[in-house]
């Protein structure tokens, strides 16, 4: 995750430096970078919830021989 953070920060800094003479382009591109960052965080959070759900899902009651297995 920290690699994604660094890449997005470098991209935002590059966009700000390259488009200093075009504020509209700069702000729109920085907005896209921020949206991409939020999407990446949302994907990580979703995967964490899926993994937690898989780990903690309810198991059927063990009866008979499978109780000891």
Residue 29 has pLDDT above 80, yes or no: no
Comparison of pLDDT for 8 and 20, the residue scoring more: 8
Structure tokens at 63: 């009866």
What is the total count of domains within the chain? Answer: 1
Within a domain: residue 40?
yes
- Which domain, by its residues, includes 37? 2-59
* Average pLDDT over all residues of the chain: 78
Helices 2-18, 23-55: axis angle to 10 degrees equals 170
Task: Answer whether residue 53 is part of any domain.
Answer: yes
Mean pLDDT of 27-39: 83
21 located within any domain: yes
Average pLDDT score over residue span 29-55:
88
In a domain, 37, yes or no: yes
CA gap 27, 48 in Å, rounded: 31
């Amino acid at each position: 995750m920290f690699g994604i953070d660094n890449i997005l920060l470098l991209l935002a800094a590059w966009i700000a430096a390259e488009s200093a003479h075009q504020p509209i382009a700069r702000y729109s591109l920085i907005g896209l970078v921020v949206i991409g960052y939020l999407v990446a965080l949302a994907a990580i959070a979703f995967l964490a919830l899926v993994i937690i759900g898989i780990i903690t899902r309810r198991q059927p009651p063990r009866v008979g021989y499978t109780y000891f297995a």
